[in-house]
Amino acid sequence: MRISKNTPGAPCWVEHGSTDPQAARAFYGELFGWRAAPDPGVEAGGYTPMLLGEDPVAAISPPADSGRPPAWTVMVATADADATVTAAAAAGGRALTGPDDVFELGRFAVLADPAGAVLSVWQARGFPGTALFDEPGALGWIELATRDVPGALTFYPALFGWSVSPGESYSQWGLDGRDFGGVLDMGEQFPADLPPYWMPYFAVADVDLSAERAVALGAEAVLPPTDVPDGPRLAVLRDPVGAVFGIYLAGTSG
């Protein structure tokens, strides 16, 4: 799916923060065919958009917080970043950064929900975000892992207008009749000291081949290729610098 404009409430961008951006760029370039298009400006701080063909689909950069481990950050579109931050705070969340202007491109903030899961919001001006969604090599699903599923199912729909399709063990987020993500309960299978988190899934043409390729490039298979009942075939991987992400069969997410 080609995205010509961002829709408030929809996932619109993902950023990889790493202490070794060069290694991350090399890994994802080999895995997804991304091409680095670094911003030469000193003020950009090493921020590097990644292109699929000529289309921007993600970014890789040094971490904004030097103490934070390598991780992907999910970004959600908003019509008003300041109003979203205010609403998040009123609902028990908090702003970790911003809202701040990013040149003429847009305005963003980094938020933590009441349980501590982190995501960003983006008010687009000159840059709408990803140009592709649910296409091989592009973002197509976002997933929240949390120990407070009821709280998440209240917080995010109130903040972004998301619909919820409840399930016995997995509920899904939607907008305008299309599901684009889900929420997973962090049960006993998760380490007790692991904080809640958002994770992106990228679409691929073949989950098994992509997972095999990722491991050959130095990734770890956290969850080997698996068929989800009534869902897509997917895998969860930890890249060579330590960030966790998912892959799934393109066209089967919503």
Torsion of CA 30, 197, 199, 87, to 10 degrees: -130
Q: What is the pTM of this model?
A: 0.94
Q: What is the pLDDT of residues 17-36, one digit of tens each?
A: 988 999 999 999 999 999 99
**Helix, strand or coil, per DSSP, at residue 119:** strand
Q: What is the pLDDT of residues 88-101, one digit of tens each?
A: 999 999 999 989 99
Question: What does the alpha-carbon distance between residue 142 and residue 199 come to, in Å, rounded to a whole number?
Answer: 6
Going along the chain from its start, the domains and CATH numbers come out as 11-124 (3.10.180.10), 139-249 (3.10.180.10)
